[in-house]
Amino acid sequence: MRPWLYRLISALFALLLLLQGGRALHVNKARTVENSFLPGAVWNDSEGSPIQAHGGQVQRMPIPDGNGGKTEVYVWVGENKTDGHLGNPVAVYTSEDLVHWTCRGDVLRPLDSVEQIDTDPYFQALYGSYGEEEKRNLFDCIGRDKVIERPKMLYNAKNDNYVIWFHSDGPTEKNSYSYDLGMAGLAVSDSPFGPFRFVGRYRLSECPEGQIDCYPSSKGEARDLNLFADEDGTAYIVYTSENNKTIYISRLNEDYTGLSGKEYGVDYLRIFPGAMREAPVLIKAEGRYYLMTSSTTGWGSNQARVWSADSIFGKWHSDGNPCAGKGRGVTFDTQSTTLFQAPNGQWIYGGDRWNGENLADSRYVWLPATFEDGKLSIQWQDEWHWD
């Protein structure tokens, strides 16, 4: 994007934010109550460093207990944006109470150079057996100058392993824009704490014959994405496609390492064609499926929108904006990234408050979410706790 256009768009969004009361939302700097959440404040891990897990996902999941078995904790996976925009390592944190988080390190690391595959024991162990072309291809996929965004993780019980899917992007021969490729990257590990081995990056489901493709020149794109595992273990990848115009939900295979098939309505669904939504979050709450999304305004916040359905490949109903009160027009100056339940069943919305000028200082806004009359509702709180 041209710099003057970027500045103009940023200025328009700053104005919108001001009108919607987004920036006016109070940010508490210190807790007044033990174990509370302070939406928008700096959030340090157990070592006192700001948590770096942007565009992430929080879930309760089995992790190795050290004795050959498993135990359950909360796992937060996200982008480590310490070094800025591109080539972000994927970081993992764990917690018992959702307030105190321990950093488990970078579980998927980007490459500084092709040579690093041979000189760094970390990469040697993962990719040392690769031929020259495979090494170059790997660097092309997860090099420091590539997009590694919105990582999401699932535990696969069948294989007792962990998969990460993420938005894998970069320039193409035709265009030097960092987001021209539009693919989904896959990495696999035996442990949620890595090291995750990058497996490949892929285009996903395509608009079927007989439907109007909103971007026919680039089939199967996948950009902002999320994962969801249903109660029966069936997992889905939800992503924005067709140049961010249409959201797709595609069923994953049993290993969670690829798509289950190509049959429309059975293996995937194309929803809201042309609606221009991204940052999707798919959950099941009280027997109903909910899909929360943002509009497509880069690091600038905008209005959230939710759809809900009785079944994943059924009919989706528009439920409108889930946010209520001051800041509702700009999702309280956040972009959706996760929805999960606290130990007492309380649903929590987790959003990114991006700081486009200094991405490492982007903040997290976690707010209570409720389901009233089958509708998701989120309200601002200066300070709150789930118990």
**Shortest CB 307 distance to ligand GAL, Å:** 18
**Shortest CB 145 distance to ligand GAL, Å:** 15
Q: Using an 8 Å Cβ cutoff, are 78 and 91 in contact?
A: yes
**Shortest CB 300 distance to ligand GAL, Å:** 9
Q: Which is nearer to ligand GAL, 55 or 329 (CB)?
A: 55
Q: Which is nearer to ligand GAL, 180 or 383 (CB)?
A: 180
Query: Secondary structure of the chain in the HEC alphabet?
Result: CCHHHHHHHHHHHHHHHHHCCCCCCCCCCCCCCCCCECCCCCCECCCCCECCCEEEEEEEEEEECCCCCEEEEEEEEEECCCCCCCCCCEEEEEECCCCCCEEEEEEECCECCCCHHHHCHHHHHHHCCCCHHHHHHHHHHHECCCEEEEEEEEEECCCCEEEEEEEEECCCCCCCCCCCCCEEEEEEECCCCCCCEEEEEECCCCCCCCCCCCCCCCCCCCCCEEEEECCCCCEEEEEEECCCCEEEEEEECCCCCCECCCCECCCEEEECCCCCCEEEEEEEECCEEEEEEECCCCCCCCCCEEEEECCCCCCCEEEECCEECCCHHHCCCCEEEEEEECCCCCEEEEEEECCCCCHHHCEEEEEEEEEECCEEEEECCCCECCC
Q: Which is nearer to ligand GAL, 59 or 337 (CB)?
A: 337
Q: Which is nearer to ligand GAL, 122 or 177 (CB)?
A: 177
**Shortest CB 249 distance to ligand GAL, Å:** 17
Q: Which is nearer to ligand GAL, 156 or 296 (CB)?
A: 296
Q: Which is nearer to ligand GAL, 245 or 251 (CB)?
A: 245
**Shortest CB 186 distance to ligand GAL, Å:** 18
**Shortest CB 149 distance to ligand GAL, Å:** 5
Q: Which is nearer to ligand GAL, 59 or 336 (CB)?
A: 336
Residues that bind ligand GAL (CB under 6 A): 55, 149-150, 224, 278-279, 296, 298-299, 335
Alpha carbon distance, N-terminus to C-terminus of the chain: 45
- Neighbour count for residue 82 (Cβ, 10 Å): 14
**Shortest CB 7 distance to ligand GAL, Å:** 14
Q: Which is nearer to ligand GAL, 298 or 374 (CB)?
A: 298
**Shortest CB 331 distance to ligand GAL, Å:** 12
